[in-house]
Structures are given as structure tokens and as C-alpha cells.
Amino acid sequence: MSLLSAMPAPFSPPADLLDRVRMSRRPLLIAHISPDGDAIGSLLAAGSILYHLGKDPVLACQDTPPASLSFLPRYDRITNQVHEEVDLVIALDSSDRERLGNIYDQGRIRSLPLVVIDHHITNTLFGDCNWIEPRACATAEMIFDLAQALEVTIDTQIATCLLTGIVTDTRGFRTSSTTPRVMRIVSALMETGADLPTIADLALEARSTELIQLWGRAIATITVHQGVISADNTLEMRVDLGRLIRAEGLASFLLGSRDAQIAVVFTELPDQRIECSFRAQPGQDVAAVAYAFGGGGHALAAGCTVDGPLEAARERVLARLYESLRR
């Protein structure tokens, strides 16, 4: 008996969700804006599962997925324009409707039934059918259980996508959500053919020269005060590099500072809003801060988008972070 066939599935999908998936012929799967490894890994894994069921899923995301994830099977099938007639919307790894971006505003998509699959404790239950499991280390862990519930055999392609989601959202198995069950799932996915060393290297360590240059410019803006380390990722920095890339992974890198309990990166968007990416040491709760500004996430990793300009946004957000550390 393989590890996959013996694996328990404590995060059981609702019967209503399974019925909706089985009845759909062409579902639209949406990953959240500024997608990370869990969003894209879950999107591609869920898409492959639906292919196995004879469906014709459309895979969408407003923003271009990180190039570091381009090794994933079917990565090139992710679109930011939905032209097909779809009959169901499945939101993956998204804590609220706004995280779906402009994909959800295209055509008649808003009028369709909406299924939400997510592991963020701050989820607003914005779907017609919500499967939310904050105990899961990643949405990818839930998609593993979805495959079991739908009786789809996990192949190497699906395993690679799921393992990528788990590796990235646990920061290489370093978060408190990395349970013994998670490690058993990891073993099962490796047994199926997922290459853990390669996935970890490509998804966590590989960076483009442009991204490293952007990190350098952002790091030059670092300030540390009252246990919070912060850096700016301005529009000017990215325009100078010729591409409007985000400083992916920088907040986690900054949290390595011995002087910081919380790290935040402020990214200036073209519409003058400011995207805030938070990371925190155990014992802190940046999800509460993100939620106060209309965002969400986890206690140790969260985000939000606030009105600019940058200086005013930075002042407001840092004040709330300092307050959270004093509690």
C-alpha cells in the first residue's frame, strides 16, 4: 500500500462543494493577486485534478505568476483574460473577494456560483460555498484532500504542484503549521515523483538578476525601530529596472534581522496605493494588523493594500505595528 492510499484526510471538503465540482463542465479557477507559490501550486494542482475528471478548467490570475514558478506543469496555461464560457468559479487561497482582482469583474463571472477554498483565518466567507481550514499549512494541503475526496489519483505533475505550495507557504517547513501530517503528505508526494530538492531550490532560492537588483535598492531604504524592520519598494525603483516587478521574498529575508520581531515591505503601486507585505516572528500577529487595514493572512505572514501616498501610508501602518508589539 502506498503512502498516498493510506493517508487520512481530516480536512474533508463539504458535500456541496464536491457536488458543484462534479456538475461543472468548465470551471474557472482563480488565484489571488500578487500570487505566491501556494496560490499557483494550488491553482495548477486543482486544474490537473479537474482535467482528470474530464473537465475543461480555465486557470486565471490577474498578475503574472513569479518566474521562479515557471517550472510547474501547465504554468503557461494561466491567463489574465477569460474569454471562455465558464459555469462555476473556484477561488483558491484568497481570503476576500478583492484578492481575486479584475478577473472576477470580467464578463458574467460575478453572476456565477462561487466556491472558495482557503486556509486563511481572516477569510470573509465571501463565496456561495466556503471551505475554509485555518489548521492547514497551505491551501495545497487542502487540495491534496480534495483529490482524495474526488478519487483522483495524484500523479507526478499534481504532486509537484502540491509540494511547491506546501514548501513555499511553510517557508521550507519552518512554520508552526508544519505538522507531522504535513510531513507524511510530503513523503507521499515525493514517493509519487515530486522532486523536493529541485522544488525547494527553484521556488525558494532561485531569483532573477532584476529581482536581486530590486532587493538591493529596497534594502538601501531599511529602517529599524521598536522591533519593526521596514523597506520601501517604490515605483521609481521598478521603472528604472524596466519592469514593474515586486520584491518577492524580501519581507521574509528582512525578518532574519536579529533586531526585528516584524518585517514589512511597502510596495508602491501604479494607482498610488501601497501594498504592505508583513512577516513576523512567533508570538506576534500581523494578520490582525493587516485585517485592520482591510487585508488578511496568517499570524506570521499577512498583507494588505492601503491608500497612498507612500509616506502617509508608511506612517499609519508602522504606528499600528508598534502598537501591536506593545500589547
Each residue's pLDDT tens digit in the chain (327 positions)?
Answer: 455 555 555 789 999 999 999 999 999 999 999 899 999 999 999 999 999 999 999 999 999 999 899 999 999 999 999 999 999 999 999 999 999 999 999 889 999 999 999 999 999 999 999 999 999 999 999 999 999 999 999 999 999 999 999 999 999 998 889 999 999 999 999 999 999 999 999 999 888 888 899 999 999 999 999 999 999 999 999 888 877 777 888 999 999 999 999 999 999 999 999 999 999 999 999 999 999 999 988 899 999 999 999 999 999 999 999 999 987
CA 124 to CA 80: how far, in whole Å?
A: 24
**Same domain flag for 183 and 240:** no
**pLDDT score at 4:** 53
Identify the CATH number of the domain in which residue 225 sits. Answer: 3.10.310.30
Residues 41/72, Cβ–Cβ less than 8 Å: yes
Please give the residue range of the domain that contains residue 126: 3-204
pLDDT value for 1: 44
Last residue of one domain, picked from the residues 173, 204, 235: 204
Tell me what pLDDT residue 53 has.
98
Shared domain for 171 and 57, answered yes or no, is: yes
In the chain, beta strands by DSSP E: 27-31, 58-60, 88-92, 114-118, 129-132, 223-225, 228-233, 262-268, 274-280, 296-297, 301-306
pLDDT at position 240, please?
82
- Gap between the Cα atoms of 276 and 290, Å rounded: 8
- Asked if residue 200 and residue 214 are part of one domain, the reply reads no
Within this chain, do residues 189 and 223 fall inside the same structural domain, yes or no? no
267 and 199 together in one domain: no
User: Cell numbers of 34, please?
Assistant: 500578487
Closest CA to 224 of 304, 325, 118, 130: 325
3-state helix, strand, coil in the chain (%, to 5): 45, 15, 40
Note whether 122 and 93 are within 8 A (CB): no
Domain co-membership, 196 together with 217: no
Q: In this structure, what CATH number is given to the domain that contains residue 56?
A: 3.90.1640.10
Structural contact between residues 7 and 184, judged by C-beta atoms closer than 8 angstroms: yes
Do both 239 and 139 map to the same domain?
no
46 and 120 both lie in a single domain = yes
